[in-house]
Amino acid sequence: MKIFTGRAHPALAEHICEYLGLPLGRAIMGNFPDGEISCKIDEDVRGRNVFLIQPTCPPVNESLMELLIMIESFRRASAERINAVIPYFGYARQDRKDEGRVPITAKLVANLITRAGADRVLTMDLHAAQIQGFFDIPVDHLYAAPVIDEHFKAMNIAKDDLVVVSPDEGSIKRALAHMSRLGGRLAIIDKRRSSAEKTKQANIIGGKIEGCVALIFDDMISTANSICGAAEVMHQHGARQVFLAATHGLLVGNAVEHIQKAPIDGLVLTDTTPMPSEKQMPKLTVLSIAPLLGEAIKRIHRNESVSKLFV
């Protein structure tokens, strides 16, 4: 087994290698003067089981193209099996045609990864679970929920005071999964979307919020407009404390400013994407999913069950 990384998130690859007790594979990545990506695998991978760590996070196009070029490099270097480990899968928002004359980019990217030569994909908290079916190769879909829920369990919040909040109708199933592990009650924000960037939170579906601790879960935080709006609604209805949690913290645009102004007591993210210093905040906690990914990689290499990680 060999572990390699692109330039999207080398720190995560290093932490995974620490968990596995393996050295990080040598690959030389660069750019030609015109911006094209260059790649050279700097060690023998013939007949090896290769795992390539590369979330397709911002800059998304650069990260995705680098992933494809590295997969092509391993294929031509005669690696026996190429496993694309994509902790954050970009281009996942358009998973269906919700209006005329628009692409299904999630399927397009799945085709590109498959055609480049990947034999398997390992990913985490896809924006839409059905994206697994867009691939013609095996996909192992992990969830960060156990890691995030352990963090909140350690806070010893009384179950009678706990409200697990879904920020929109599409996240109800995710919220129910968290509630099954943490206890408490369920509340749903009635979110109305006016455009791709703007949403309006209207009503709360659920029981009494006043005096409770609200935990708002989502799969990703991009501009933070939606989840901060949900936090504001909880605050207006009298929640004693409000915590936000998501697997993928993209934090693009004015997200950091929105979060700092929001009436929240904490934000929990995982390290599926890099968290540079300019995105660090006093109320932010970043949890590592490297042990979870490392264990999944070990099980895939040994042809063992990955689903047992969530039993």
Instruction: Please give the model's pTM, rounded to 2 decimal places.
Output: 0.94
Q: How far apart are the first and last CA of the chain?
A: 26
Length of the chain: 311
State residue 246 phi and psi, 5-degree precision. -155, 155
Report pLDDT digits (tens) over 133-183: 999 999 999 999 999 999 999 999 999 999 999 998 888 999 999 999 999
- Percent with pLDDT over 70 in the chain: 96
The full set of domains in the chain, from first to last, is 2-144+291-310 (3.40.50.2020), 145-288 (3.40.50.2020)
Of the candidates 224, 111, 225, 124, the residue with the CA atom closest to the CA atom of residue 103: 111
Q: Is 283 one of the annotated active-site residues of the chain?
A: no
Report pLDDT digits (tens) over 204-219: 888 789 999 999 999 9
**Active-site residue, selected from the candidate residues 2, 40, 191, 200:** 191
The pLDDT of residue 310 is 77
**Gap between the Cα atoms of 303 and 263, Å rounded:** 46
| Under 8 Å between Cβ of 5 and 27 | yes
